[in-house]
Structure 1
Amino acid sequence: MKKWTRWEDWVAIAAGAAAMLSTMFVPPMGASVALMLVLGALLVISGLVNLAAPGLVAMEYVQAALGILLIVSPWIGGYAEAMTFGAAWMSWICGAVALVAAVLAIRPSMQAHHDAITH
């Protein structure tokens, strides 16, 4: 598998960037800004690592875990309010996109890892 070509990792990077950039547009609540910036940045970094080294299976699980953390962060950070869901919806959507992309990337990453070892 060629470096810098996996669409799943580009999607995870876009989800992380969207989470980070959305903090400028949605009203801040609770710890939304901090959690979305940190988890978004970690998603971008993990996506770049996956693009640079496509055979690292563990990084796919890291991306999945970051997606899950982004999904649950509105409840952890206290910004899942009943009337204003802007930051919460961005966390849920970006986290779900990152999680789905990571799950879809696990098998190709395992194959790339297997091919790298056997050749």
Structure 2
Amino acid sequence: MKPVKSTARWDDWAALAAGLIVAVSWLWHQTIGPPTAALFLLGVAAVFMAVLALTHPELIATEAVMIVVGLAIFIAPWALGFTGVAPMAWTGWILGAVIVALGAVGLPRAIALHRRPVPH
């Protein structure tokens, strides 16, 4: 199997960075509580999925779960009731949408790599 060039994985690197920002965003939001913990855990999940996508580019599930995690980050401000905390809410909305888009960009490539014949 021919390795994929790292430059071809820009979307996974960007998703890794976005997830990391979500995970550590509590540092500048200066909030504590369930919404903060949820953003942290969702950010960690995005980082984990991005690392899996980088190390196993042929796995379709990594990109699909990345989209789901991004959607969860995006709806978290409404679902967890922190739309009134503007910095946290905007972090969720913007980076959630970015992670969804990055997962959608990587999904066709993962499908193509998954369907590629394995050399014997």
CA deviation profile, 1:29-78 (whole Å, cap 9, x unmatched): 76321111000000000000111100001111100000000000011111
Secondary structure at the counterpart of residue 25 of structure 1: helix
CA RMSD of aligned residues (A): 1.7
Q: Which residue of 1 aligns with 2:29?
A: 26
Secondary structure at the counterpart of residue 80 of structure 1: coil
Q: Which residue of 1 aligns with 2:109?
A: 108
Secondary structure at the counterpart of residue 113 of structure 1: helix
Q: Which residue of 2 aligns with 1:54?
A: 57
- Structure 1 CA distance for aligned equivalents of residues 5 and 38 of structure 2: 27
Unpaired segments of 5 or more residues in structure 2? none
CA deviation profile, 1:5-47 (whole Å, cap 9, x unmatched): 2111111111110111111001327632111100000000000
Higher relative contact order (CA 8 A, sep 6+): 1
Number of residues of Structure 1 aligned to a counterpart in Structure 2: 116
Give the fraction of aligned pairs with identical amino acids, expressed as a percent: 28
- Structure 2 CA distance for aligned equivalents of residues 27 and 78 of structure 1: 17
Unpaired segments of 5 or more residues in structure 1? none
- Structure 1 CA distance for aligned equivalents of residues 74 and 53 of structure 2: 21
Cα distance change on mapping 1:2 and 1:118 into 2, 3 Å: closer
Cα distance change on mapping 1:33 and 1:19 into 2, 3 Å: same
Contact 1:69–1:95 (CA<8 Å) still a contact in 2?
yes
Cα distance change on mapping 1:52 and 1:3 into 2, 3 Å: farther
Secondary structure at the counterpart of residue 55 of structure 1: coil
